Each structure stands twice: as structure tokens, then as C-alpha cells.
A and B are shown apart, each in its own frame.
Chain A
Amino acid sequence: MNEDKLNTLRQQDANLRDAIRLDEMDRPQMPVDLNARLMKRVATQEKKPRRIVWPWIAAACVAGVMMIWLTPPKAETPTDVVAENKPAVEQPAINNKVEEPEMAKVESEAPVPMPTPVKVRKAQVQTAVAKRDAALLAQETKAEQPAAKPAVDEVHKDLSIVETAKPQEKMVTLTERDIPITRPENYKYTPEELALMKKQANEAYLKWAQLELEIAKHNLEQTAQSDY
């Protein structure tokens, strides 16, 4: 039904219009004081200082965002700085541990079989050999038959010094109140690190073995020379 038809009906429906008009007339009239009461209510509402909340909410939101934005990342917090720096500091230590596999063994708790003393021995042996070479050069003619034995003893002596010294160092490291030590993640090495450590340990072992062979060879030569 369109509007024109309805407008026509509105004019035609006299009974309906009259009924509605009468019905409206019978409706309760608006109380006289209603507007006055309303104006009073409006006045009291206007008097009340309307708290404008939204700027505070907005400010709180901005502050929250800024806090999130400005707070350093987890790794940069003071405790984590230690945690983060420690591996950096210890990174050489890890390498050292490869050279000094005992520490690696203790910290990683991964069994590093033979190489443990190898690197240390290598280093010490090298110095010992150097010392011994100097001594040998000086006393080449006076060299006695068991010349190799003191050299080996010297090596072992140095080794024992190193080995006794190392645990102390290690203890120092372990007893430090650094968080990285107590943190479980610092006890763990990545598989790559473990593989690298093993590889380096094996290499060191091979070098040590070669060195031992050379020493033995040298000793043999010495004894052979002394025999002649």
C-alpha cells in the first residue's frame, strides 16, 4: 500500500480518526510541575562537576604504551644483562673449555672422553719442550741416558700444577654468584657447540699423540746418539 492510498484512507477513516482523537483526549495530562522538576534536575546535573573521564583513560593508555615502549627488552634488564653478557664472556671460556675440557665436562655434563687433559697437556708440553730444548741445547753433550725421563717428569709436574690450579679456577667460576651459573639454560650447550667441542678435543688429542710420538722419537734419537 503506497503513501497516497494511505493518505486517502486517513481522510476516509473518520471513525478511526475520531476514536484516536477521543482516546488521546482521555489520556492523562502532563503534570503542571513536571517541567519545573525537570528544570531543577537539569540544573542540579549541570551544577555537578561532570567528571570528564576520557582524558584520564587516554592518558593512562598512552602511559601504558610508553611504558611498554620504553621498557628495555627482557635481555637488557640488569639481571639479564649479566645473563646475556655471561655467555659472551664465557664464550671464550667455552672455547677454553675445549682447550680445558674439564670445565666443559663439568658444566655440560656431557662426557667428553679422552680429550679432557689433552689440550692442557699440549700447551704445557709445548712449553716444557721449549724449556727442555733449551736445556738440551745447553747440555747437549752432557746429556745422560735417561734424559727423556726428566723431561716427561717435568711435563707431568707442569701438568699436575695445571691440573691442581684448574679446579681452583673452576671452583671460582662455579662459586660465583652469577645468575648464569644457576640458570639451567647455562648448563646446556647447543648440539653445535657440543659437536665443535668434540671435534676440537679430538683434534687436540691427535696433536697430543703426534707430539708424544715426536718426543718418543726424539728420545730414541737421543739415546741412540748417547749409545754411540
Chain B
Amino acid sequence: MTTITDIDLLQGLRKQSPKAQQQMLERYGNDVFAQVARLVPGVENAEEVYQDVFIKVFRNITMYDAEKSSLRTWISHIAYNESVSFLRHKKVPVIYYEDREGEAEKLSESEVEATFGQPNPETVQLIRAALKHLPPDERAIITMFYYEEMSLKDIAYVTESIPTTVASKLSRTRKKLYKIIKMLQS
């Protein structure tokens, strides 16, 4: 089985070649679905958004600029926008914790580092529970950074933001997670 490069794939996609499209789905489909499912609740909704994402990708492939981002990041950007747009238009109810009074910001960094850094299965379960209380965009950012190991620049490109904003958002989200864990413990 021969693997084709992104350049070949792009050439095929620009010609609207079904083979190239199939290849692209095989290469990026799982990641995109995971990204969409992270933001959009419900498998059916995620499927709908997933299809919309790739139809948009196939149609607008000529607009892709390799100098601005990798193909993977470009697709992530479209997937993120489609998911956020879906949530906005379908008005899907999402319940999450909102730190209105900014209490999380007051927490000390050492406390947070100790909780997240010292391996502990119980803490892992608590963090998993806490993750469910995060708003979709924050969950997406923290997953992109910790799980997909994307750079701040790429996350900023995906979320149409700037790296410094992403950095501050990540820091805030960490503290917020810690705050939720504390609340769950109490």
C-alpha cells in the first residue's frame, strides 16, 4: 500500500478526485470526528457536523494556504468553526461551570501543580469528572494542548485567536479545573 504525501493529496483534492477525497477521510477522519464529538454533544449531531466539515473542506480546498498552516490544522479550524456554529444555531443546551466571581484566578499555582502533577488514579478520575463541567471551547483548547499536543500558534489559528490569549485561557482553565475538583471533593 502506497502512502501519498499531503502535496499529492492536495493535488488530487483540487481536481475533486474521489480517490483523494477518500484518502483524506481515511487520514484525518478519526481526528476530525473526535474533535467534533468533543464539542458537539450526541453522536448524530457529531456525524452531521463531520459531514458538513468535509464537504466544506472539499469545496474550499483551493483556499487552503500551506504557508499559513498545515492541512491538519486547517481542517481542525474548519471543524472547530462548524462545531461552534452548530452549537450556536441549533441552540444545543450545554451545562457547564462558570466561574463568575473569578475565584479560580485567586488559587495558588503551587496547589494546582501539586494536584495535576503527582500521579494519582483518584485524582485522574476526579479530573475526568471535572472536565465534563468545562464549557466546550475550554475543553477543546485544553484537549488540543494536552492530548493533541498542538502549539499555541496552531490552537490560536484553529480558534481564530492569538497565542497569548490561548495561553491565558489555558492557565485559567487549569485553575478552573482545580476549582471544580475542589467543589466535587467537598
Which residue numbers of A lie inside 8 Å of B, CB to CB? 1-3, 6, 9-10, 12-24, 27-28, 30-31, 34-35, 37-39, 41-43, 45-46
Contact = CB atoms under 8 A, between A and B. Distances in A.
B161 to A, nearest CB: 14
Given A1-B170, A38-B55, 4 more contacts: A21-B147, A30-B33, A35-B26, A38-B51
A53 B55 CA distance: 20
A17 B147 contact: yes
Nearest to A2: B167
B146 to A, nearest CB: 5
Contacts of A18: 119, 124
Given A35-B26, A39-B25, A45-B55, A27 B34 contact: yes
Contact of B119 (A6, A15, A39): A15
Interface of B: 16, 18, 21-22, 25-26, 29-30, 33-34, 37-38, 43, 46-47, 50-51, 54-55, 58, 113, 115-120, 123-125, 127-128, 131, 142-143, 145-147, 149, 151-152, 163, 167-168, 170-171, 174, 177
Contacts of A38: 25, 50-51, 54-55
A107 B146 CA distance: 94
A42 B19 CA distance: 12
Nearest to B58: A42
Given A34-B50, A41-B51, A10 B58 contact: no
Contacts of A34: 29, 33, 47, 50-51
Contacts, number: 115
Contacts of A14: 116-119
Interface-central residue, B54, B151, B168, by most chain A CB under 10 Å: B54
Nearest to B115: A15
A155 B151 CA distance: 113
B127 A19 contact: yes
Contacts of B167: 1-3, 6
A18 B117 CA distance: 11
Contacts of A31: 43, 47
Given A3-B167, A6-B171, A41-B51, A16 B177 contact: yes
Contacts of A16: 116, 127, 142, 146, 174, 177
Nearest to A45: B55
16 contacts: A1-B168, A1-B170, A1-B171, A6-B170, A6-B171, A10-B146, A13-B113, A15-B115, A15-B119, A16-B142, A16-B174, A17-B147, A21-B147, A22-B128, A30-B34, A45-B55
Contacts of A6: 145, 152, 167, 170-171
